[in-house]
Structure 1
């Protein structure tokens, strides 16, 4: 369920921002299309982080380091 929400939320936020900017700047539909792709990419990245467990701590580097720690303790 969380994976679906992460993906859909990214797309909806992107489309919402694009739609609002288009209405404000009068550039329909270009910014909505651009932000649709940006929102899709952000949603896919969030899904990847959730699946890999990289969202446990602040920052992807710290999460990856935390994930690698058990391997070092086991001698792997």
Structure 2
């Protein structure tokens, strides 16, 4: 459940930041697309990190 939450949170956060960026700078729809992509990539990275796929333990002491 936590892995899916991490992924969805990354995409939603990217979408919100992109929408705000577009509203402030009038760059629609480019800000939304770029930040959604960054949110997607961040979500994938978080899932990989938490599942141990990257070799780094998510939130655990490596000792």
> TM-score scaled to structure 2, two decimals?
0.86
How many equivalent pairs are there?
A: 60
Unaligned runs of 5+ in 1: 58-62, 70-76
Greater relative contact order (CA < 8 Å, ≥ 6 in sequence): 2
Task: Show CA shifts across 1:52-72 (max 9, x none).
Answer: 162124xxxxx5xx1xx5xxx
Q: Larger helix proportion, structure 1 or 2?
A: 1
Where do residues 24-63 of structure 1 align in structure 2 (5 Å cutoff)?
24-52=24-52, 54-57=57-60
Give the RMSD, CA atoms, in angstroms: 1.4
> TM-score scaled to structure 1, two decimals?
0.72
Distance 1:20 1:56 in 2: 30
Distance 2:2 2:49 in 1: 12
Distance 2:57 2:42 in 1: 14
